[in-house]
Structure 1
């Protein structure tokens, strides 16, 4: 079992220590602004967790709740204000947004230097060419950290199969693993003989959004499995249950290491958001030498 909760807790502790040094030596406290539009229940819970963990890390947390009928222009105005607020080092607009708002326009409006989600085209481009200073999407960061904790810091030569090609997880995690000198195969809904390709992998990253799609016989014995999926299903007794993209009960008997759902990748995502906020603060103030 790869314990994402424990590894995320260790990362948050390192971030808290780094924030204390930043405050003591430079008089700076990182500030994260989270903007949420509407009343989506899952988003509300997620934002509360982000706010709590931001404050626990010693950072300033700014939360902006806007009504469902907020116009795209009004939201763009709010982002412009936060872009120009020196107390705000990171900006996150909680997705999904109401249908009348163009998500791509909102992401593009966030300053790349404050884009702690790592979704802006500038940060995507920086990641693609391996440029230092890019703010990298949080979930892919977490996947790589989990893999390295299980397999060691040197992933050179490992064959990684990524299931899913989204801009949020699949593509950026592939780029990060290429930088770790892995051989990466990106698969998707049109990939032929997907099961056979997966059987060749030393590391499987499942990020496709289909409950229990990856079965035990897809996995090479001893392979490392990082399950990004979060799918809501119902038990036989009618109770709701969260499951991943991997059939955990089967795969745990074959894999050399596997992340559970929940408790695997999820906790790492918020921890890496705090890491990005800290890195953004240092970059904006030309501070180096404090690593997290």
Structure 2
């Protein structure tokens, strides 16, 4: 008797309804006499994957009616390069003025009233230098959702805010400031009247939308608890994708194992009452009470985990791979029978026979990520329209 094979998903089919919604929204803007949104993609180095992604972004934007421009830090000679792409990038990164060039382009895009959205093709340098560049993008134009104000909203489960609050400093507002109906966050997906949906990092959001399409979210449960009872392993804890994704899933009720190169952590939704783990100062206790009353504490908690990677994966209903290495593979025998496997890395993190144990498998999410980026662009533009009225 042949071994049953799990369902193979394609990101294009998941992305299609989101792209159509973006296309329809832009068509309505144009028919009302408004400009098409303009997105600028900033290329720092001649990295072949970044250049290919930029061209892919251009095609995706053309298909929905977004004006897309690529701003490069170098001038094309038209004669081609005499060395391969890796050597070109290495040479670019040795140029100490490169960071200043990228910063100049970001600032110029921030100031350009014709530019509605900005994305930068990372990684460039990696680490703190990339983090710095992410934070100087105007949050009102940050389609990637990497500005710290958006990350703060995500970690604290601030799902709705007033358009005037977009990009404001953490702790200066909460959903309660404008009296969101008490039941809104529990029973409804719709944005309360007068509020805007908070911008989220587009790659973690794309994974969530893929999980919804694949039936992992239980829509019979209250909004914000639709992963209750699910266990998920995320193999990657980068600040751009892995950690935000673990937080998003925990905020929706999942038990999440976060596996990184040197440790395993467990993310869970914060309980109403927490056990004391250390003696805090009086000023910390007072600040904690104040912040808890205004929903300013993180919505989830993180603890160190003593399980092995094999044990985490074996207990998980969903396994998500995001390791940027061709040599890293999740062993198929570790996967729980009937689990869902999703890969967001540029490399395949699962073995070829993954579907002999996984009930469904999504090998790439790139097209869904682009759709979330486009949706962020349209939403940011709509929020600015509201403020200009």
Q: Give the corresponding residue for 2:34.
A: 27
Give distance in 1, aligned partners of 2:200 and 2:100.
Answer: 27
Q: Give the corresponding residue for 2:335.
A: 219
Give distance in 2, aligned partners of 1:180 and 1:19.
Answer: 31
Q: 1:137 aligns with which of 201, 204, 226?
A: 201
Is contact 1:156-1:180 (8 Å) kept? yes
Which deviations, in whole Å up to 9, do the C-alpha atoms of 1:163-196 show, x marking residues without a partner?
1111121111112213332222222222341111
Superposed, 1:1-292 pairs within 5 Å as 1-25=8-32, 27-67=34-74, 68=92, 69=95, 71-97=98-124, 102-131=129-158, 132=160, 133-151=197-215, 153-154=217-218, 155-157=226-228, 158-189=230-261, 190-191=263-264, 192-211=307-326, 212-231=328-347, 244-247=348-351, 249-260=352-363, 264-286=364-386
1:24 deviates by 2.7
Q: 1:162 to 1:38 in 2, by over 3 A?
A: closer
Give distance in 1, aligned partners of 2:346 and 2:123.
Answer: 15
Is contact 1:37-1:98 (8 Å) kept? no
The two structures, once aligned, show a CA RMSD in angstroms of 2.1
SS in 2 for 1:102: helix
Q: 1:55 to 1:161 in 2, by over 3 A?
A: same
Which deviations, in whole Å up to 9, do the C-alpha atoms of 1:98-129 show, x marking residues without a partner?
68x93222111111121111222221111111
Give distance in 1, aligned partners of 2:211 and 2:101.
Answer: 41
Q: 1:80 to 1:15 in 2, by over 3 A?
A: same
Give distance in 2, aligned partners of 1:79 and 1:137.
Answer: 18
1:81 deviates by 1.8
Which has the higher Rg, Structure 1 or Structure 2?
Answer: 2
Is contact 1:2-1:146 (8 Å) kept? no
Is contact 2:10-2:362 (8 Å) kept? yes
What runs of 5+ residues in structure 1 fail to find an aligned partner?
A: 232-243, 288-292
1:9 deviates by 2.9
Q: Which moved more, 1:172-181 or 1:213-222?
A: 172-181
What runs of 5+ residues in structure 2 fail to find an aligned partner?
A: 1-7, 75-91, 161-196, 219-225, 265-306
Aligned length: 270
Give distance in 1, aligned partners of 2:341 and 2:33.
Answer: 41
TM-score norm. by structure 1 comes to: 0.85
Q: Give the corresponding residue for 2:275.
A: none
Is contact 2:143-2:373 (8 Å) kept? yes
TM-score norm. by structure 2 comes to: 0.65
Give distance in 1, aligned partners of 2:101 and 2:322.
Answer: 33
SS in 1 for 2:324: coil
Q: Give the corresponding residue for 2:221.
A: none
